[in-house]
Amino acid sequence: MRYFIELSYNGKNFHGWQYQPNAVSVQETIENSLVILLKKKIKILGAGRTDTGVHAKQMFAHFDFKESFDTQNLSFKLNSFLGKDIRIINILKVKSDSHARFDAKSREYQYVITQKKDVYNFDTKYFFSKKLDFDEIDKAIKIIKKTKNFKSFCRTKTDVTNYNCKIFDFEYTMYNSDIVFTIRANRFLRNMVRSIIGTILDVGLLKTSIKDFSDIIKKTNRIYAGPSAPAHALFLTKIEYPETIFIND
C-alpha cells in the first residue's frame, strides 16, 4: 500500500528537504522516526526539494508499507517523535502508482518581505526597508507570467535539462508593512523563486530596468540575474494533486 504524508515544517534548523550525508534534513528526520515506529526501513520521496532554511506550510511525500496500520494513530505518534520543527498534518492512502513528485499538478510558494523591523518574526521575513517602485515591479511580474524558459533563474551545476515552467499565477499583496509575493506554477527549478524575487527587487530599486530584465531572461544564463533573496523568508505553501489518486475508506 502506498501512503502520502502531508506535513509542514520550519526549515531554520534543517539543511533542506533532501537527505544530506553530513547534515540534518527533513527527509532523514522523518525516515528515522518511521523506522522506529513501523520497525522497518522506510524510504520517503518528497514532492520537491526545498533548500537550506526554506520552510513549508504544506509538503507531501510518499512511502510504501505492506502491513495495514491506523493512519491517525501513526500521525499522532510521529508528531510526538518529531519535535517542534515538523508537524504531520495527515497520512493518506493513495493508489499504488501515485507519486508525490510527478502527480503534483501545481506548486505554490510565498516570499515574505517586511519593510518594518519585526523583532518577533525576524526568522521568517526578509527585512528590506529600501523604497521600491511597484509600477516597475508590476511590469516585471507581467513579463514573468509570459515567460516559459527560466534558465536565467536556475541554480548552475544541476542535472536539469528542461528549464520550461508554466506560471499559473504571480502576484503580491501588502499587509501593513509586509509584502507577500505568491507564485504558482506546474514546477519550479532549483533556487528559481529566490532568484526571481532578488531580481525583481533590483527592478523595484531601479537598479535593473525593464528592458534589462527582459534581456536577462533572453540570455538564459544565471550570471546576469540578480542575487537570490534570503532563504528564511520563503515558504512552500500549497501542492495540488488530482482527487482521483486518493483512496477514501
**Residues catalogued as catalytic:** 51
| Cα separation, 235 vs 241, whole angstroms | 19
How far is the C-alpha of 177 from the C-alpha of 245, rounded, in Å? Answer: 41
Q: What's 29-73 look like in SS3?
A: HHHHHHHHHHCCCCCCEECCCCCCCCEEEEEEEEEECCCCCCHHH
Q: What is the DSSP pairing of strand 234-240 with strand 55-64?
A: parallel
- Which residue shows C-alpha cell 508554466? 166
φ and ψ at residue 114, rounded to 5 degrees: -120, 135
